[in-house]
A = this chain, B = another copy of it.
Amino acid sequence: MATRKAKKKREPRRPGRPRDEANQRERLLDAAVACFAADGIAATSQRSIALKAGVTPALVNYYFGSTQQLLDTFVAERMLPVVATLRESVLAAGTEPRALLRAFVQGIYGVVDRYPWWPALWVKEVLNDRGALRDVLQKQIAPQVAQVLATMLAAAQKRGDVSADLDPRLIVVSVMGLTMFPLAAEPIWRRVFAADDLDRDALLRHTLAVLDHGLGGAHAR
């Protein structure tokens, strides 16, 4: 608590205080994220973050306070901005359902390209029924993206632009399964199918094709 108070007061720099504070803080947050994705949030201590970053646990505590505060900071600074970007790309895509879902899928690929830890963390902390981010997903992420998307797809279905035998809410679930699962399971299927000839772009093209026409396809048969 003493260190946090000191930070708020913005006292002049003393010997022993980190020099490049902004960078240091980002670097520690990166180390926290790496630990979360590798070991899971519950198994990550300030000590393990410090070890990863090559600093003392006290320094981690100085920047982030308690473990819960650290998690809140991670959500606020590393997850929600990404979700906001995803939301913007969906909203910018218009109302045509194919364009909408294409924007969503490409948005997710963009996120994972930039933050490769995202799928592993999603498996451990959201899909896992003991996950620490289930509440965050439900209360802060889903309303921003999943619910918006489902509402737009329901409107498109009313206009006759989405097949009547699909459920607009389940379309969002299907699309998550078609994008996040293959990205999370990439190391598995690459080995199972000896599929190193397929790059991320090939996976994205395949995924968009399934979404567009399923196994069928206007030109295929």
A→B interface (CB under 8 Å) = 39-40, 97-98, 101, 120, 123-124, 126-130, 134, 137-138, 142, 146-147, 150, 160-167, 169-174, 176-182, 184-185, 187-189, 191-193, 195, 198, 202-203, 205-207, 209-221
- In the complex, which residue of chain B has the Cβ closest to the Cβ of A157? B220
A166 partner residues in chain B, CB cutoff 8 A: 206, 209-210, 215, 217
- In the complex, which residue of chain B has the Cβ closest to the Cβ of A216? B213
A177 partner residues in chain B, CB cutoff 8 A: 177-182, 185
Instruction: Give the residue of B138, B164, B205, B216 whose beta carbon is less than 8 angstroms from that of A212.
Output: B216
Can you add 12 more A-B contacts, CB < 8 Å, to A138-B188, A163-B209?
Answer: A120-B129, A150-B193, A163-B221, A164-B217, A165-B217, A166-B206, A167-B206, A170-B182, A170-B198, A211-B214, A213-B213, A216-B216
Instruction: Give the residue of B147, B160, B165, B213 whose beta carbon is less than 8 angstroms from that of A193.
Output: B147
Instruction: Give the residue of B142, B167, B188, B220 whose beta carbon is less than 8 angstroms from that of A162.
Output: B220
**B165 and A134 form a contact (CB under 8 A):** no
Min distance, Cβ A202 to any Cβ of chain B, angstroms: 7
Rounded to whole angstroms, the CA-CA distance of A219 and B166 in the bound complex is 12
Chain A to chain B: the 5 pairs with minimum beta-carbon distance, closest first: A177-B181, A163-B217, A163-B220, A214-B214, A177-B177
Rounded to whole angstroms, the CA-CA distance of A39 and B40 in the bound complex is 14
Q: A123-B123, A127-B123, A170-B182 are in contact. Are A215 and B216 (CB under 8 A)?
A: no
Min distance, Cβ A147 to any Cβ of chain B, angstroms: 7
